[in-house]
Structure 1
């Protein structure tokens, strides 16, 4: 799971050209302007509204409370793409009583392109920060980037994931009310949809790029396939092996701690669920080249990928955001256009795309509820209150993005022709 769905852009001059107090003042005025365009009340510590001194909250409207307004403005001024989330972690703002965090963020996400005038948006390049060199997906950096997230501990993830330990979007049954559906059932539906898309059946040799905790490998083996699955997370690999052995498929599944670029051999099918977002744009040619090299002629690749609209991808591809800094170092979301272009360069053809972004919003909503409910058991010297607020914001922030189509998720079939 990797995303950078929405950012409150506060267009300022380069940080070095304006005093800190002036930058914060500009941030305050831009925020005041944005509040006029979004149906969310912004409440100051004295109870007044940011854009309506002496005004009162609108009934049934989401609201946020600025607990430390000046610190909030300062963080936005220092880095608009990162400051909003860091201010939440620091406790500078919070949803008002009765307002869900995702409900407060969703109206901003829905109006992202119109929060500030167009001429101000064109100044975003003055405050965008470039992606650090060690987060661009180099082989020597990838294990560290992956460990920064996935090696937080199996117990931490197990506290809020369903029993399948699936950490990607579930796929709910459209024919039944979502509220009545179990998350584990929906996750297994997602796994089998990906296996079906790749045409995985008995006797097939299957490569999985991105092991997770072994659920897809187990389900592929249950179909009678032979599976090689690779990950860069030592913690994930250890638990995946245990789960695969407990399921009785150790003879059919090989778990390797290995970069996908170092995999050898060919396979009838390749499946990769929400792995491409961690690759890094510089190495997308390597990724697709590996897919083409590893799948046999006539075989298929099934990718589950988080997507963003192509124009947004072009606008944000070289800038550094909160998700990259605090959640997924090295991550970048592609567009479907990019996937088609990269696939075409290595002889792969996109033949089917199944989108289900609303299902990701529901998955994230359930993860966040489970995470907060389990927090007393997660809390430790390692996972402190700042960690809780960071992850609460991360899950709500991404949920808002999927709710409003700022980002989407899809399963995509790539085919390699039987003959050149």
Structure 2
């Protein structure tokens, strides 16, 4: 199959599969028929360049370059759908609304008799993205080391890059602190507590734990995050109680007696299925007798996990290489294999949709500053799609987020 350059301003070296449109006329024709069939069953309107509009209700998806859109869809499936947005082959005034329509029916978009084609059509994850120790460092670097300044443009002042937990307040900082404090309360973090955090982020949880009088070891694979987390801990006056190390969770040295609390917020999604049991064993190995684990994780239904666990997605290719969103039952199983069990669970996916809405609004409001950091227009379109895609998934209930409180079974 040959390709032809797409007449849009995309940096081919940086975005090779966005800068070219597959030349696959037969696949494009098949994809066009399937897309018309699928969109006709949804509450969605599709607008064409000649003025035609199909559908009578719902948000509008505007096809700017239908032939390119269908070629990408026919060649690369849902990855092609995302790349078509990156390239400007389709637009929407409200991409979240459009993507929510698809997310609500994700399991049934393709007729059951054709579902088996996913295993033939879908791309496979590159071996380099497996979460070996070397692979995990590379995967984390590709996302979290983009630029601390970039993340600061759209995150709240707490620099929390995970779901907030809202109450009646719409204030994002308050909601982020509420999320963190619930985990610290649930795991009994207070004066004298020894705390291990797996996945530092930019340090807010470690800082709040230290402000309670705990001593915290936090590990991360992101050099950028470590630098800023240490600076923020110093600014908060708790650097004497916060140690941030560049360290894989598999390389953490044991401490005498173990840790009273182990916290990990939205890190297990980056572990990879092959290493879930290794991760759970690390939790058990470092947990003190009578200690508690607080785990926040993005989840999907167990049925969808089983159906999609081997699928290589647009999110893998452009945002989070090597990741896999687990289900609660599969994590309960790997925890049980390590001698741990879930004592309490809170699901709050709607709050993640709200969190993402805040982030995307801030990101789009500061596009000029994103550009000033050296990121091009295709990057802006990519991250707009990423944030909208995730918000739609939570709004539709296709994915969820949970806080789990975990300990050893009572003897």
- Provide the TM-score with structure 2 as the length reference: 0.92
Contact 1:354/1:411 (8 A) holds in 2: yes
- Equivalent position SS for 1:163: coil
Structure 2: gaps (5+ residues): 1-22
Name the SS of the counterpart of 1:217 in structure 2. helix
Residues 206-217 of structure 1: pairs in structure 2 closer than 5 A: 206-217=195-206
Q: How does 1:21-420 map to 2 (within 5 A)?
A: 21-49=25-53, 52=54, 58=56, 61-95=58-92, 99-173=93-167, 176=168, 180-265=169-254, 266-380=258-372, 382-417=374-409
Tell me if the contact between 1:350 and 1:415 (Cα under 8 Å) persists in the aligned partners.
Answer: yes
CA contact (8 A) 2:85 2:91 kept: yes
Deviation at 1:418, TM superposition (A): 6.7
* Number of the residue aligned with 1:3: none
Q: Distance in 2 between matches of 1:340 and 1:381?
A: 42
Shift of 1:381: 7.0
CA contact (8 A) 1:297 1:418 kept: no
Asked if the contact 1:163/1:184 (under 8 Å) is kept, the reply is: yes
Asked if the contact 2:59–2:97 (Cα under 8 Å) also holds between the matched residues in 1, the reply is yes
Structure 2 Cα separation of the partners of residues 413 and 242 of structure 1: 30
Shift in Å, 1:382 = 3.3
Contact 2:79 2:314 in 1 (8 A): yes
Deviations 1:303-335 (A, max 9, x none): 100000001101111110000000001111000
Give distance in 2, aligned partners of 1:311 and 1:181: 33
SS in 2 for 1:318: coil
Render the CA deviation track for 1:80-124: whole Å, top value 9, x for unaligned: 1311111100000000xxx31101111111122232322122322
- State the alpha-carbon separation in 2 of the partners of residues 375 and 384 from structure 1: 10
Cα distance in 2 for residues equivalent to 1:117 and 1:78: 18
TM-score between both structures, scaled by the size of structure 1: 0.90
Contact 1:137 1:280 (8 Å CA) reproduced: yes
- SS of 2:80's equivalent in the other structure is helix
Q: Distance between the aligned counterparts of 2:126 and 2:212, measured in 1?
A: 43
Separation in 2, partners of 1:111, 1:313:
15
For 2:133 and 2:272, locate their aligned partners in 1 and report how far apart those are by CA, in whole Å.
11
CA 1:153–1:288 in structure 2 vs 1: closer, same or farther (change >3 Å)?
A: same
Indicate conservation of the 8 Å contact 1:297/1:417, yes or no: no
> How far apart, in 2, do the equivalents of 1:346 and 1:65 lie?
50
Secondary structure of the corresponding residue to residue 168 of structure 1: coil
Q: Bigger CA drift: 374-383 or 80-89?
A: 374-383
CA distance in 2, matches of 1:197, 1:84: 41
Higher relative contact order (CA 8 A, sep 6+): 1
Query: Which residue number in structure 2 is paired with residue 14 of structure 1?
Result: none
RMSD across aligned C-alpha pairs, in angstroms?
Answer: 1.3
Aligned with 2:344: secondary structure? strand
Q: Distance in 2 between matches of 1:417 and 1:299?
A: 11
Conserved 8 A contact 1:296-1:416: no
Q: Which consecutive residues of structure 1, in runs of 5 or more, have no partner in the other structure?
A: 1-18
Q: Secondary structure at the match of 2:239?
A: coil
Q: Secondary structure at the match of 2:240?
A: coil
CA offsets, 1:138-171, max 9 Å, x none?
0011111101000011000000000000000000
Q: CA deviation at 1:58?
A: 3.8
When residues 381 and 269 of structure 1 are mapped into structure 2, their CA distance, relative to the original with a 3 A threshold, is closer
Residues 42 and 63, structure 1, Cα contact 8 Å, conserved in 2: yes
